[in-house]
């Protein structure tokens, strides 16, 4: 049996708890080109048991170390979740064309 690390978060790697209602799936990668930077991208968020799709282009964060890249990414996720419309616009069916 393996021992759990003390202080490790109770979520799987790649999942970050943003607040008590929001869990974010993040992919972290290291750039192979100079200057070597880390890139964190949020793929989706689970907010109050509802999946919220995120644009990876808008949530990408870069930094010299993994923590800086992750912080930049999560800052962008917070912005996109707060500016997101609360109620999506409903599709309105167009009336049939008449002559």
Give the tens place of pLDDT for each residue, 62-80: 888 889 999 999 999 998 8
Domain boundaries, given as residue ranges, for the chain: 15-81
Quote the pLDDT of residue 76: 92
Number of H helices and number of E strands within the chain? Answer: 2, 5
Quote the pLDDT of residue 95: 77
Quote the pLDDT of residue 73: 92
| Domain 15-81 class in CATH | alpha beta
pLDDT digits (tens, 9 = 90+) for 16-64: 888 888 899 998 888 777 677 888 899 888 988 888 888 888 889 888 8
Rounded to an integer, what distance in angstroms lies between the CA atom of residue 26 and that of residue 44? 8
């Amino acid at each position: 049996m393996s021992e759990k690390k003390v202080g490790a978060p109770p979520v799987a790697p790649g999942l970050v708890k943003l607040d008590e209602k929001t869990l974010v799936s993040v992919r972290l990668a290291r750039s192979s080109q100079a200057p070597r930077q880390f890139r964190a991208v949020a793929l989706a968020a689970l907010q109050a048991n509802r999946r919220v799709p995120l644009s990876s282009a808008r949530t990408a964060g870069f930094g010299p170390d993994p923590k800086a890249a992750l912080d930049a990414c999560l800052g962008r996720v917070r912005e996109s979740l707060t500016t997101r419309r609360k109620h999506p616009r409903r599709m309105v069916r167009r009336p049939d064309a008449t002559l």
